[in-house]
Amino acid sequence: MQCVLSGLRIDVVGLISEAPSGSVMRFFQQEALVSSFDYLKTAIKQQGCTLQQVADASGMTKGYLSQLLNAKIKSPSAQKLEALHRFLGLEFPRRQKNIGVVFGKFYPLHTGHIYLIQRACSQVDELHIIMGYDDTRDRGLFEDSAMSQQPTVSDRLRWLLQTFKYQKKYSHPRL
């Protein structure tokens, strides 16, 4: 699941059973992509263009573009990369991206979790949220609560996404 806040992509990327309790936040820095041009392949697919169309618009041959995308060319010229980025509407030069990861059970989802996620969003370009669950612990929390029905894992994911739905500059998540 994914949502976009002010150009920041937030992914709820997975579930972990019996994850350690509490929330842990870690930031990872993605290495600058020097010899890997996978992001260009993705951009070309998203644009729905053929390699020939991209090559023609960028002033290179289809063969050269293919070799570049398959990492056969290690040091392409800045002019060719700039033309390619311009045609695909990508930032050039590519800047380093800060990626954050938040782990938590979010049961119950409370203001501490919300603060943690908002704080993480303010410090990274991309945030991945990993939601864990522990059936035994969750059942105990439910039995000790005033809730009439135990929320499912799907309910908890929905709560997490709904919490950020009404934030400024939010785009609907792709589920």
Q: Which residue has the higher pLDDT, 123 or 58?
A: 58
pLDDT digits (tens, 9 = 90+) for 34-81: 347 888 888 899 889 899 999 999 999 999 999 999 888 878 888 888
Q: Which of 157, 110, 112 is nearest to 2 (CA)?
A: 157
89 touches 57 (CB < 8 A): no
Same domain, 24 and 103: yes
CA dist 124 → 10, 59, 74 (Å): 10, 35, 29
Same domain, 45 and 25: no
Number of domains in the chain: 2
Domain span holding position 123: 2-30+96-174
Burial 19-45 (b: 16+ CB within 10 A, else e): beeebebeeeeeeeeeeebeebeebbe
Same domain, 112 and 146: yes
Same domain, 24 and 44: no
Same domain, 110 and 170: yes
Same domain, 126 and 166: yes
Average pLDDT taken over every residue of the chain: 74
* Residue 93 banded pLDDT, cuts 50, 70, 90: low
Same domain, 21 and 46: no
Same domain, 62 and 104: no
pLDDT digits (tens, 9 = 90+) for 132-163: 888 898 899 889 999 899 988 888 888 888 88
Average pLDDT of the residues in 123-132? 82
Same domain, 100 and 137: yes
* Residue 16 banded pLDDT, cuts 50, 70, 90: very low
